[in-house]
A and B are shown apart, each in its own frame.
Chain A
Amino acid sequence: MQRKSNNRTGAFGEEVVSQYLIQRNAQIIERNWRIREGEIDIIALYPSGIFAFIEVKTRSSVAFGHPFEAINAQKAHRMQRLALGWLATHGCFGCNYQIDVAGVLIANDGSHTIEYRAGVL
């Protein structure tokens, strides 16, 4: 049960961040790209021609700490590998890219806030 509701929270966060990116004229290329090594939540192409690989962290409370604190160095490096993997398999190896993270905090009344940090690595 718990797992299912977490999945819903995560999907909601990813949806919210996608809207946020579209509002800023980014093109969403792929959602939940998954290979054996892991998953990239959102892959987007900025108007400037840079590919962005976005990890979304969604929390319904800060009881377990700030969303960004869940992303440690190990996880960040896995993101890096996955990004390179995506670029290689899609014929874009050598393109400019960056790793972004987005934190979505859902308040009790259902409203949410987005914290977006670009180019964290």
Chain B
Amino acid sequence: MSLAHTQSVALMGLEGHVVTVEVDIADGLPMYSLLGLPDAALSESRDRVRAAIVNCAEIWPNRKVTVSLSPAWLPKSGSSFDLAICIALLCANETIASDAIADVVFLGELSLDGRIRSVRGVLPALIAAHKAGVKTAVVPTANYQEAQLMQGIEIIAMEHVKQVLRWLRNGEREIAQEFELDWQAHDGTLDFADVAGQPQARLAAEIAATGGHHILLIGPPGAGKTMIAERIPTILPALSILQALEVTAVHSIAGSFASRSPTSLMAPIVSPHHTTTRVAMVGGGAHAIKPGAGSLAHNGVLFIDEAPECPSGVLDSLRQPLEAGTITIARSIGNVTFPAQFLLVLAANPCPCGKFTGRGRNCTCTSQQVRRYLGRLSGPLMDRIDMRVHVDPVGRVDMARTDLGESSADIRQRVIAARALAAERFSECAWKLNSQIPSRALRTLFQPQRNAMNFLHDELDKEHITARGLHKIIRVSWTLADIAGHSVPTLEDVEQAHLLRGGIEL
């Protein structure tokens, strides 16, 4: 028999398709053709597979080899098909029994000596395999920890093609060391106790963490904007297992596990540099569509330092995901949707020289420069930012204090308590956070007190706020009410929310 087939998974964004890998060996001149819309990395698999087979002392068939990846219309990319092609080829060459591999999914890139290297997107691939009814999957040992997150499918971790062959021929299976599923909560390297002073910014960070409200921090260099922003994940509650799986799946597609463990329950923080491009921000790519910073920050924090220095189109590309919570990328090879529910934290200097604060005595910028600088943050984007907070330079009193500020753990307790109040209120709704209340529900079910609404309507009449702004203020006021323990936002809560939103005129 010179025909064999096995399975692997092709990924389009987070969505996986089980792919049948067929290999036919026919008489004829030595040739190798790979069918099924492979990209460059996948076309190179021929040379990797060949070298791996020869270096494992197996026989490379000097005949006409046809490899078909079906469904043929689906564009396939990357190196994760190497192992499946290699095994199917050896099977077609009659060195492995064919029934052993037909229902197994193989994932892994081959090195020239036959070792199995880690690949991207193992978790989403296994989810797709499970949905398709696959019972057994072979994954690279390097991806075993991530693969174990997938329940209901037998995972076999393999390090070398020889190991796989021993398993398929003799049933010998070295039991890979089981990783204890160890969900890691906060690691405690960053703590809000490190931040000296800054009561308003601390409060704003707490409100942002409680209700999921987007925030802009404005202050001179060295005041602690970055310090505060980096610590926001430490006061966010630990992710649920389901949320953590979503985060891990996105990071798996991007291949960004260097900075984050697959079993971390801490909310991710992604801080792209301000020279980043639109594609890097929202995701994209011609062959394999990869998630951008917005999706990597899903269920966590997207922090953009020096926001006015960003090319304006880059920040504005976040406008739609901020509303929708997802990013849909359309390319010629297809449409891909990534989740993108993040807390946006922007930081900015008050002016180009950075010293326009307090009385601005040391600032060397002209008034026009100052106005133009923050004006680079477009109106529609700023309309989506719930809070604009000044971070003032730290004074001698705060720096001289030897007692530390409130720790992240203490703040997190309050955040969790306030979120629990909100969750109870929304127990019959589809959303969980105050920032997610749809505007229709705001007008009907979740109105603040009467006098507070009158105040907001007056502001609307005076065109001080937009309709979207009015809704944003009500959402923040609900968070303030949760923190203060009010059952309904009072006039005071609404005024404070209004103040936080309009803290600076742009």
Contacts and interface: CB of A to CB of B under 8 A. Distances in A.
Interface string B9-32: 000000000000000000111110
Interface string A42-74: 000000000000000000000000101101010
Greatest chain B CB density within 10 A among A68, A71, A73 is at A68
Contacts of B362: none
What's the dominant secondary structure at chain B's contact region? Answer: loop
Contacts of A69: 30, 62
Contacts of A71: 29-30
Interface residues of B, number: 6
B29 A101 contact: yes
B25 to A, nearest CB: 13
A76 interface: yes
A120 interface: yes
A117 to B, nearest CB: 6
B49 to A, nearest CB: 16
A41 B31 CA distance: 22
A76 B29 CA distance: 9
Contacts of B30: 66, 68-69, 71
A63 B30 CA distance: 17
A49 to B, nearest CB: 22
Interface string B25-54: 001111100000000000000000000000
A71 B30 CA distance: 8
Nearest to A99: B29
Contacts of B27: 117, 120
A117 B31 contact: no
A40 to B, nearest CB: 16
Contacts of A117: 27-29
Contacts of A120: 27-29
Contacts of A68: 29-30, 62
B27 to A, nearest CB: 6
A117 B31 CA distance: 14
Nearest to A69: B30
Interface in A60-97: 66, 68-69, 71, 73, 76
A117 B63 CA distance: 10
B14 to A, nearest CB: 39
A68 to B, nearest CB: 5
A68 B61 CA distance: 11
B143 to A, nearest CB: 35
Nearest to B60: A66
Greatest chain B CB density within 10 A among A66, A71, A117 is at A117
Nearest to A118: B27
Greatest chain A CB density within 10 A among B27, B29, B30, B62 is at B29
Nearest to A76: B29
A73 B28 contact: no
Contacts of B62: 66, 68-69
Contacts of B31: 73
Contacts of A66: 30, 62
A38 to B, nearest CB: 17
18 contacts: A66-B30, A66-B62, A68-B29, A68-B30, A68-B62, A69-B30, A69-B62, A71-B29, A71-B30, A73-B31, A76-B29, A101-B29, A117-B27, A117-B28, A117-B29, A120-B27, A120-B28, A120-B29
Given A68-B30, A68-B62, A117-B29, 7 more contacts: A66-B30, A68-B29, A69-B62, A71-B30, A73-B31, A120-B27, A120-B29
Interface of B: 27-31, 62
Interface of A: 66, 68-69, 71, 73, 76, 101, 117, 120
The list of the 10 closest CB pairs from A to B, nearest first, reads A66-B62, A120-B28, A120-B29, A68-B30, A69-B30, A71-B29, A68-B62, A117-B27, A68-B29, A76-B29
